[in-house]
A and B are shown apart, each in its own frame.
Chain A
């Protein structure tokens, strides 16, 4: 642990550690390279999934997300995470409980049963926003950390929904055509490409992936059509659940609709890892359902 690094409690969630562990490994390593230490948040659970849990009982969602926040409060450390779904649960519940006394009292009554109390003493951040924030990392420092520029690769950005929306509750500004992630992509030497309906959902959220897979995939497929039109070599996102939907979803789309896209999908931390010189093996890119090789050939 270096002396002047920023330190955060690393909230893992489910899909990064349990399906794409390369994201977890990349997040820890790439963050260290730009001055952020991610420390284990011991005993954290599922955020819990905002679509699944929030849809059936918001009170349980508040209480379980609050428990995860309290673990960080006990460490006296802000939380950093790598998933938009987790951000929705952890950031939003933290925010709501800080500003709504009635809600906080209700949650604390339940937390009391397990000797915990939500105090509202920490903040929650997505790693992507910390990378963009010049007070923490900033685009320049990201660019300076690059050892192997992704020159010649056209990379499209999928922002996902739950990081920036609903915009009036968040702090990211424009949610119709944001460009800050494109700046983060350009910092790696790749060419960020624009495409139609960039802010459209991946289709998986709100429990729809589990409820009606064909419906969810049809939304995903529309996005893949738009990405194909601009000749993207890869899609990058900051949400392992979106990644799952685009990556495994392409296999399911081939199965159900008979359409084969073959578009590599990489979490920004995986992309950053490649640019900082990590090998595909160190990122477990072989776990991706869609072969990442064509993209690697372009950049290596």
Chain B
């Protein structure tokens, strides 16, 4: 009769039998959140590495998108969301186009970034863009040199956007405020001062 392979330490044996979640701080809900926000079946990833091999950020940094996919599946939320490499994805979608499992690793990364933001983990430049859009409707707003150039071209100094029609700004601010985005951006930036 074959001997069942097991560990003497019963607790350890139990942990290792559950092959998905054997690290004490892993969160099995993490992959579900990533899949819901990213709208991709990330748990189907079989770690072939096509994503990392297609990634323009991989050759010049320690960012490995395959690793993030694995961490999502293993529920290593803390590790994934606090890793500064999370913000090195240029969202070029090469990995998504080449994934043999038809997944969207790019959108899984976007989902992890959304989850990081919920915990106030976010680089400053993202928050500054929110402030700019809240103020003017534009992430890259007009300036005097550009106004002069526009005039020379025969264009109006202000483009036909919120710049020329600031009466549209309250509506935009209402949308941003609905999600408390400006409030959170201001707070996180102030705390980082």
- Taking the closest CB of chain A, its distance from the CB of B2, in whole angstroms, is 47
> In the docked arrangement, what's the CA distance between A192 and B91, Å?
27
Whether B175 pairs with A166 at a CB distance below 8 angstroms is: no
1/0 per residue, CB under 8 A from B, across A265-288: the answer is 000000000000000011010010
Whether A45 pairs with B137 at a CB distance below 8 angstroms is: yes
1/0 per residue, CB under 8 A from A, across B22-59: the answer is 00000000000000010000000000000000001100
Whether A14 pairs with B130 at a CB distance below 8 angstroms is: no
Segment with Cβ contacts to B, from A35-43, A136-144, A149-157: A35-43
Whether B139 pairs with A46 at a CB distance below 8 angstroms is: yes
Which of A15, A59, A60, A203: most chain B Cβ within 10 A?
Answer: A60
Whether B146 pairs with A19 at a CB distance below 8 angstroms is: yes
Among candidates B94, B129, B133, residue contacting A165 with C-beta atoms closer than 8 Å: B94
Whether B138 pairs with A161 at a CB distance below 8 angstroms is: no
Whether A50 pairs with B181 at a CB distance below 8 angstroms is: no
Segment with Cβ contacts to B, from A126-134, A183-191, A209-217: A209-217
> In the docked arrangement, what's the CA distance between A53 and B129, Å?
8
> In the docked arrangement, what's the CA distance between A216 and B161, Å?
29
- Mark out the residues of chain B between 124 and 164 whose CB falls within 8 Å of any chain A CB in the assembled complex: 125-130, 133, 137-143, 146, 149-150, 152-155, 159-164
Q: Which residue of B lies closest to A88 (CB)?
A: B91
B78 at the interface (CB under 8 A from A): no
- Mark out the residues of chain A between 11 and 55 whose CB falls within 8 Å of any chain B CB in the assembled complex: 12, 14-15, 17-19, 21-22, 24-25, 40-46, 48-55
> With a CB–CB cut-off of 8 A, which chain A residues contact B106?
166
B6 at the interface (CB under 8 A from A): no
Whether A45 pairs with B90 at a CB distance below 8 angstroms is: no
> With a CB–CB cut-off of 8 A, which chain B residues contact A44?
160-162
> In the docked arrangement, what's the CA distance between A110 and B171, Å?
10
A58 at the interface (CB under 8 A from B): yes
A207 at the interface (CB under 8 A from B): yes
> With a CB–CB cut-off of 8 A, which chain B residues contact A14?
138-141
A255 at the interface (CB under 8 A from B): no
Among candidates A24, A53, A59, A222, residue contacting B130 with C-beta atoms closer than 8 Å: A53
A259 at the interface (CB under 8 A from B): no
Among candidates B92, B141, B153, B165, residue contacting A161 with C-beta atoms closer than 8 Å: B92
Q: Which residue of A lies closest to B98 (CB)?
A: A176
1/0 per residue, CB under 8 A from B, across A239-264: the answer is 00000000000000000000000000
1/0 per residue, CB under 8 A from B, across A162-178: the answer is 10011110000001100
Whether A55 pairs with B110 at a CB distance below 8 angstroms is: yes
- Taking the closest CB of chain B, its distance from the CB of A62, in whole angstroms, is 10
> With a CB–CB cut-off of 8 A, which chain A residues contact B160?
10, 12, 40-42, 44
A206 at the interface (CB under 8 A from B): yes
**A55-B126, A114-B171, A166-B96 known, 13 other contacts, Cβ within 8 Å:** A10-B160, A17-B150, A18-B163, A44-B160, A44-B161, A50-B91, A53-B129, A57-B117, A162-B93, A203-B56, A210-B125, A211-B126, A281-B152
The 3 residue pairs across chains A and B that have the minimum distance between CB atoms: A210-B125, A43-B168, A201-B92
